[in-house]
Chain A
Amino acid sequence: MNIPDNLKYTNDHEWISFENGEATIGITDFAQRELGDIVYIDITALGQEVGKDEVFGSVEAVKTVSDLFMPVTASISEMNAALESAPDLVNSDPYGQGWIIKAKLNDPSQLDQLLSADEYKAVIGL
């Protein structure tokens, strides 16, 4: 299970990275494994500000559907267009080509409340 040290995590199995004022958000290796084959990513709040822990979309897998929760309050500026034709990138490369959205943070200090890689590993029992 790959849980990169340089990312922040949530209890809902999202990851977030933050560089040059822009955040990139996706789901973790653990989450994609639990969901199984991902067939569709539905982003309902493109262009909108979404509060911390609020739903910004959902992930449809063959066996199940799961909501996506915002790790911090942010405005969604972009969704990963590659996922429209290849949603399975979230399975094969959850931290790279399988990123889900980019967002502008209102208050980057909210990142400090998120989990470190080690803390997240504890959440998933690693």
Chain B
Amino acid sequence: MKELVLNEIHIALGAKMSPFAGYSMPVMYSGIMEEHHAVRNSLGIFDVSHMGEFILEGEGSLELIQRLTTNDASVLTPGDVQYSCMTNEKGGIVDDLLVYCLEAGKYMLVVNASNIEKDWNWISERNAGSVKMTNISDSTVLLAVQGPVAATALQSLTPVPLAQMKYYTFTKGQFAGIDDVIISATGYTGAGGFELYCKNEDAERLWQAVMEAGKPYEIKAAGLGARDTLRLEMGYCLYGNDINDETSPIEAGLGWITKFSKEFPGSDHFKEQKKNGIEKKLCGFEIVGKGFPRRGYKVLDEHFNEVGVVTSASISPSLDKSIGLAYLNKSVSAKGTPIKVVVRDKALDATVCSLPFTK
């Protein structure tokens, strides 16, 4: 199992470490609820260095990305970030990812930790040879500093005007005295804030500087547990839970990043799904009353017919309700439809609702 560069810092902060995607990762520090509220209402810092980063550069790099991903990377100019996914010929999702346009003809792909090897092979096998590919995952630290006060709290650390940065853009600049930090106005929490990419050797300095700058805002170190409740409240998909090699981006509600102005693996199939409609769809639901659904639990309609399965679920700390995502048959996928979620031996009442859960 791999250790994070900042492993000792996490342990000193009292993190509960658990294996995730081959890494020993901080799952929580002070408590998921407390960390969640800190991020939603003020500021939190996540070490998500387990994520993978690939650099693609040289002739044909844009063409390769266009050929493999669902979104239209041709619209990106240097400083833009794009959410996208790679699909397979069978109509499933290889991975969801971020595409950074570093400069003309040079891109960084940020992929899920659990898929680094699979993605690398997938892209390499489809690279005709002209695109230079570098896997910088092991030499890159990624800190997500998330929360509504992030720009204010971090401004003293950088000359880059943070508050003016548009969502899904980035700048390479000096941060906490470190050169060439990628400062990216992105995140997986819906709380606003930045994702900061630096080299391993600069990581401790970056972490400490952010913690210091965040002190007046009671910054909290936050783990994967809070990251999961935060992303679920926003209805963001988690690879391995809500999307995988067999789920279609159309069914997963990712039609907005699936552009048919070009061809990519499975695009004919997805086009048909978009045109003719889909049999099942990833939907949000909330439990009426008390109850704690979990991933894998069955969903029934009002007549107790099986109509779906839960892919993610948790209590929502912001709403104080149990919420989840489930693939539901189209017969019950409309907002407001009453459904039942089978929690152990009980069929709990639930309602299909629109995403995000929190606004």
Contact = CB atoms under 8 A, between A and B. Distances in A.
A62 B16 contact: no
A63 B290 CA distance: 16
B292 A60 contact: yes
Nearest to A62: B32
Contacts of A40: 290, 292
A91 interface: yes
B229 A62 contact: yes
A34 B27 CA distance: 10
Interface string A54-83: 000000101101000000000000000000
Contacts of B32: 36-37, 62-63
Contact of B16 (A33, A39, A65): A33
A65 B292 CA distance: 9
A105 B294 CA distance: 34
Contacts of A88: 33
B28 interface: yes
A92 B43 CA distance: 23
A62 B27 CA distance: 12
B82 interface: no
Given A62-B229, A63-B225, A65-B294, A39 B31 contact: no
Nearest to B35: A37
B322 to A, nearest CB: 9
Nearest to B226: A62
Contacts of A91: 31
Could you say which of A36, A40, A63 has the most chain B C-beta atoms within 10 Å of its C-beta? A63
B317 to A, nearest CB: 8
Contacts of B294: 65
Given A36-B27, A36-B28, A36-B31, A62 B290 contact: no
Contacts of B229: 62
Contacts, number: 34
Interface residues of B, number: 15
- The A interface, classified by DSSP as helix, strand, loop or mixed, is mixed
A40 B229 CA distance: 17
Interface in B244-288: none
Contacts of B27: 36, 63
Contacts of A37: 28, 31-33, 225
Contacts of B290: 40
Interface in B1-55: 16, 27-28, 31-33
B120 to A, nearest CB: 30
A63 B315 CA distance: 9
Interface in B293-324: 294, 314-315, 317
Given A62-B33, A62-B314, A62-B315, A39 B225 contact: no
Given A62-B225, A65-B292, A36 B315 contact: no
Nearest to A40: B292
A34 B16 CA distance: 8
Contact of B292 (A33, A34, A36, A39): A39
Contacts of A62: 32-33, 225, 229, 314-315, 317
Contacts of A39: 292, 315
Nearest to A33: B16
A65 B314 CA distance: 11
Contacts of A36: 16, 27-28, 31-32, 225
A60 B292 CA distance: 7
Residue among A33, A34, A36 with the most chain B CB within 10 A? A36
Interface string A28-43: 0000011011011000
A113 B228 CA distance: 41
Contacts of A65: 292, 294
A20 B315 CA distance: 39
A35 to B, nearest CB: 10
A88 B317 CA distance: 13
A36 B314 CA distance: 13
Q: Which of B16, B33, B294 has the most CB of A within 10 A?
A: B33
A37 B314 CA distance: 12
Q: Which 6 A-B pairs have the closest CB atoms?
A: A60-B292, A37-B32, A62-B32, A37-B33, A39-B315, A37-B31
14 contacts: A36-B28, A36-B31, A36-B225, A37-B32, A62-B32, A62-B33, A62-B315, A63-B27, A63-B32, A63-B225, A63-B314, A65-B292, A88-B33, A91-B31
Given A37-B225, A39-B315, 16 more contacts: A34-B16, A36-B16, A36-B28, A36-B31, A36-B225, A39-B292, A40-B290, A62-B32, A62-B33, A62-B225, A62-B317, A63-B32, A63-B314, A65-B292, A88-B33, A91-B31
